[in-house]
Chains A and B, each alone.
Chain A
Amino acid sequence: GAVVSQHPSWVICKSGTSVKIECRSLDFQATTMFWYRQFPKQSLMLMATSNEGSKATYEQGVEKDKFLINHASLTLSTLTVTSAHPEDSSFYICSAMNTEAFFGQGTRLTVV
């Protein structure tokens, strides 16, 4: 089946630094990818929809200048958490639709 690969799977960074997360669709082209955030014991919350070749669409309450999304090709979307703070520590998951929604393995971000 279709596979979505996300990297890195976990990262620890210092407060104030930026972190880039990559999401790749390995055997299909994805014009649209989705970025989610999941806090402990909560469900996935959609942060933004990443559109190939155009600007991402952000959900209400998500700062577009803090969570930079780039979807430069049909197989790659990146999420950059800029000036990360401890409250940004979370599980970030990307997803792409093919015949169903396929999810990356997730990135556990810890900001110290």
Chain B
Amino acid sequence: RKEVEQDPGPFNVPEGATVAFNCTYSNSASQSFFWYRQDCRKEPKLLMSVYSSGNEDGRFTAQLNRASQYISLLIRDSKLSDSATYLCVVWGAAGNKLTFGGGTRVLVKP
């Protein structure tokens, strides 16, 4: 089993719709959780950190469920510019380093 797993998608989303997807991690000792966004042929950029209490940043909401060992990302009122690959990143999933999920591809269409 992979340490961090994501549905690769693609999630085809009509503009203005809501999309949500999860990421599961295998090591219960994992310490910190992040969502990164990666555009094609570019470096990943931090979208948001994920906290147990859940956190929201504009149209983006992230949640952490430690009991079930997953994190989620919800995007409301999707924009065309939200089209990207969203990477689930976990610190501590396999030692003192970041472990990346395979990414979830989101395509927002008019």
The A interface is mostly helix, strand or loop, or mixed, namely: strand
Contact A100 B98 (CB under 8 A): no
CB contacts (< 8 Å) of A36 on chain B: these are: 100
Cα A43 to Cα B93 in complex, Å, equals: 15
Is B49 close to A, CB under 8 A?
yes
Given A100-B34, A101-B89, also A43-B98 (CB < 8 A):
no
Say yes or no: A43 contacts B101, CB within 8 Å: yes
22 intermolecular pairs with C-beta atoms under 8 Å apart = A34-B97, A34-B98, A36-B100, A42-B102, A43-B100, A43-B101, A43-B102, A44-B44, A44-B87, A91-B41, A93-B43, A95-B98, A100-B49, A101-B34, A101-B46, A101-B98, A103-B44, A104-B43, A105-B43, A106-B42, A106-B43, A108-B41
Expressed in whole angstroms, the Cα–Cα distance for A17 and B44 within the complex equals 29
Contacts of A95 in B (CB 8 A): 98
Q: How many residues of A contact B (CB 8 A)?
A: 19
In the complex, per-residue mask of B17-47: 1 if CB is within 8 Å of any chain A CB, else 0: 0000000000000000010000001111110
Q: Bound state CA distance, A43 and B34, in angstroms? A: 15
Q: Does A74 contact B (CB under 8 A)?
A: no
Cβ B43 vs Cβ A43 within 8 A: no
Query: 6 closest pairs, A vs B, by CB?
Result: A103-B43, A43-B102, A44-B100, A43-B100, A106-B43, A100-B46
- A106 partner residues in chain B, CB cutoff 8 A: 41-43
Whole-angstrom distance between the Cβ of A2 and the nearest chain B Cβ: 11
A49 and B103 alpha carbons, distance in the complex (Å): 22
Check if A46 is an interface residue, CB within 8 A of chain B: yes
Q: Which of A42, A44, A49, A105 has the most CB of B within 10 A?
A: A44
What residue of chain A has the Cβ atom nearest to residue B4's Cβ?
A43
With a cutoff of 8 Å between Cβ atoms, the chain B residues found around residue A49 in the complex are 97
Taking the closest CB of chain A, its distance from the CB of B5, in whole angstroms, is 10
